Structure 1
Amino acid sequence: MTAHTHAHSHPDSPDGTKGKNLLLTMVLKIVLTIAEVLGGWLSGSLSLLSDALHNLSDVLSIIISWFAVRMAAKEHDKKNTFGYRRATIIAAVINATLLIIMSLFLFREAYFKFIQPEKINALLVIVIAAIGIILNAVAVYLLHKSSGDDLNMRAVYLHFLSDALSSVGVMVGGIVIYYFEAYWIDPALTVLIGLYILKESYEILKESANILMQGTPKTVDIDEMAEELEKLDAIKNIHHVHIWALDEHTLFFEAHVNLQNDILVSELADIYKKVEQILKGRFGVTHLTIQFEYNCCEDMGRVLDKE
């Protein structure tokens, strides 16, 4: 007998908090991009123009994320029985990849600036950087709450946090250049910011890839789960265990449960209820499928490569 159950979670709709905040942050980013293009052109600062290009890529990432939130809010149907929640994971992969590409671009620009420092209008750079700090800080505040449990929103949040840090670096660099004409400060700060972006982007990319590959979440211990279930008197062993995440909030569990005794189907309800309570209450499983057996697959391990 196979039994299954699942719990529903409802992501924010595109008209909800996430969607509105993404649209608002996109407006802020467009305003900042325009300001940096004008500031870079007037001051002769290549760093501001480079940051403007970075911000333009952020606008693209926000658009991708907003559509992902909208897609994830759609209900499942016959065509996509699992629904569309993985759209946010795909968006996280795209955004993290963009961040890595932009980091490499920043390293390249920093290299050339080390070789040939350029004189700039430091005062104008400081003013534009201050504007960048304010706008990015507002965006970080708007996205902070949603970034903790959503990879897609976390990737966008990281975009703005890195931009805020970048603006702080540009401002500090502008101040040092204004007073000491130490033009090497600008590329040095760029390298430090780029290293931070690379580290955080890699973590997002690794976690997203694990979900897309239906890997076991790092917070889950298959043996611990099986051992806990095998403490029930009615269960002999657990095998054919498969665990994967649909997104950050939806954890799937399926397994074959070998029973101690050959019992009636009607008697399985109580056993199933106990299994469900353990998996949902202790391990956060939201959807489980159990195949009950008696004297089957005797020498099988927890996880099998072949069914």
Structure 2
Amino acid sequence: MKEANKPETVHKHEHHHHHNNLRGEKLLWATLLNLSITIVQIVGGVVSNSLSLLSDALHNLGDSSAIFIAFVAGKISRKKPDAQKTFGYKRVEILAALFNGIVLIAICIFLFYEAFQRFANPQPIKGKLMLIVATFGLLANLISVILLHNDKAQNLNVRAAYMHLLGDTLSSVAVIAGGAAIWFWNVCWLDPLITVLVGVYIIWHTWGIVKETVDILMQAVPNNIDLDEIKKQVEQIDGVADIHHLHVWKLDDSQVHLEAHLNLKKDVNMTEMMAVRKNAERLLSEKFGIKHITLQTGYNCCGGNNNLINSF
């Protein structure tokens, strides 16, 4: 029977591998499209003297980085752990996302300063050129959104990239509206105003990413995990006295790990102890979605220091 099922298993593996490669190609094309938008908008922003085009170029540059990170992460995530990196290489994307977010916020603050200078000293802007360049940006963003639309529900990184591109599309619409208004009515104060609005949007969107990456690197408890609820549920398992020295953290944006001491009500043999631990692991997996579980099981362990959180 095992031999009969083997071809089907191989077929599924090959299909999964092919799907990952196809997803990677889409991410790479989306990256190249966004880089082309960035180059065109930087040139167009300088020539037209439009600060909002430059800020939109910044947004696209940041999102190109985010999409490329998703592409590289897909490659790196398949690399196996080794003797030096026993957890593997999954946190590379977290470090890159943190760096990307900090740089984006820093440049936005600089653009706010430039926008303030433009409010104080308005400068002539070529609205027609601004409109043409922003329209190119909108079309390229729409193509990228269509490319990733079908994969957004299957992968967290792709979903994040998709949301970035959706934000780019909205900001391109704002710059197009501003370019049209400047071209027809010469209301040049709209340019720094759009710059500020796009910058606020970027910071609002990026701050959540920075906070999440810092939480992951600090091994904070994920927002959807309640330690007190874990304690309550586990201590209802037959044979468990208490659970203590509990730590829950995320290795990356999806993998949740847990380690704890499981104190039993009585001194039992190894088979009974394994059965209790198995029940605890099943509960943690099914009710809390925690798949990577390490439980140190014992009787009257830790010398009465049974605090839920251990002070090192």
Q: Which amino acid aligns with 2:266?
A: N
Whole-angstrom CA distance in 2 between matches of 1:201 and 1:295: 47
Asked whether the equivalents of residues 14 and 69 of structure 1 are also in contact (C-alpha less than 8 Å), the reply is no
Farther-moved stretch of structure 1 (249-258 vs 153-162): 153-162
Q: How much has 1:206 moved relative to structure 2? A: 0.7
Deviations 1:89-141 (A, max 9, x none): 11221221232123213212211221222222222221211111111222234
In structure 2, the residue matched to 1:300 is 306
Q: What residue number does 1:107 align with? A: 112
Q: Please, which moves more after superposition, 162-171 or 280-289?
A: 162-171
- Amino acid across the alignment from 1:21: K
Q: Which moved more, 1:238-247 or 1:114-123?
A: 114-123
Distance 1:46 1:211, change over 3 A: closer
Question: Alignment partner of 1:80: what SS?
Answer: coil
Distance 1:140 1:278, change over 3 A: same
Contact 1:217 1:245 in 2 (8 A): yes
Residue in structure 2 matched with residue 166 of structure 1 by the alignment: 171
User: Could you tell me how far 1:299 is from its partner in structure 2?
Assistant: 4.5
The aligned amino acid for 1:33 is: T
Unaligned runs of 5+ in 2: 1-12
- Deviation (angstroms), 1:75: 1.4
Partners of 2:51 and 2:115 within 8 A in 1: no
Please tell me whether residue 241 in structure 1 is matched to residue 246 in structure 2: yes
Higher helix share: 2
Question: How far apart, in 1, do the equivalents of 2:29 and 2:174 lie?
Answer: 24
- Answer yes or no: is 1:178 the counterpart of 2:217: no
- Per-residue CA deviations over 1:233-266 (Å, capped at 9, x if unaligned) read 2011111111111112211111111111111112
Whether contact under 8 Å (2:66, 2:97) holds in the other structure is no
Residue ranges of structure 1 left out of the alignment (5+ in a row): 1-9
Superposed displacement of residue 292, structure 1: 1.2
| Separation (CA, whole Å) in 1 of partners of 2:46 and 2:276 | 71
Task: Find the counterpart in structure 2 of residue 132 from structure 1.
Answer: 137
1:160-186 CA distance string (max 9 Å, x none): 344323321211111111222111111
2:276 equivalent to 1:271: yes
> Which residue matches 1:228?
233
State the partner residue of 1:5: none
Summarize the Cα distance change of 1:251–1:260 in structure 2 as closer, same or farther, 3 Å threshold. same
RMSD: 2.7
Identity %: 40
Q: Distance in 2 between matches of 1:60 and 1:102?
A: 15
Structure 2 length normalisation: TM-score?
0.84
Aligned equivalents of 1:219 and 1:157: distance in 2? 23
Report 1 or 2 for greater relative contact order, CA contacts < 8 Å, sequence distance ≥ 6. Answer: 1
SS in 2 for 1:16: helix
* Pairing of 1:1-307 with structure 2 (within 5 A): 16-40=21-45, 42-49=47-54, 51-52=56-57, 55-56=60-61, 58-143=63-148, 145-146=151-152, 150=156, 153=158, 156-157=161-162, 159-297=164-302, 298-306=304-312
Give the Cα–Cα distance (whole angstroms) in 2 for the partners of residues 103 and 91 of structure 1: 18
Determine the C-alpha separation between the residues in 1 that align with 2:217 and 2:117.
Answer: 38
Range 297-306 or range 230-239, more displaced: 297-306
Which residue does the alignment assign to 2:5? none
* Alpha-carbon distance in 1 for matches of 2:208, 2:116: 25
Maintained 8 Å contact 2:250/2:257: yes
Distance 1:105 1:216, change over 3 A: same
Q: Specify whether residues 115 and 148 from structure 1 end up closer, same or farther in structure 2 by C-alpha distance, changes over 3 A only.
A: farther
Between the aligned partners of 2:95 and 2:210, the Cα distance in structure 1 is 10
What amino acid is the match of 1:212? L
| Change in 2 beyond 3 A, CA 1:31/1:57 | same
Q: How many residues align?
A: 296
Cα distance in 2 between the residues matched to 1:147 and 1:194:
28
Q: Distance in 1 between matches of 2:230 and 2:60?
A: 45
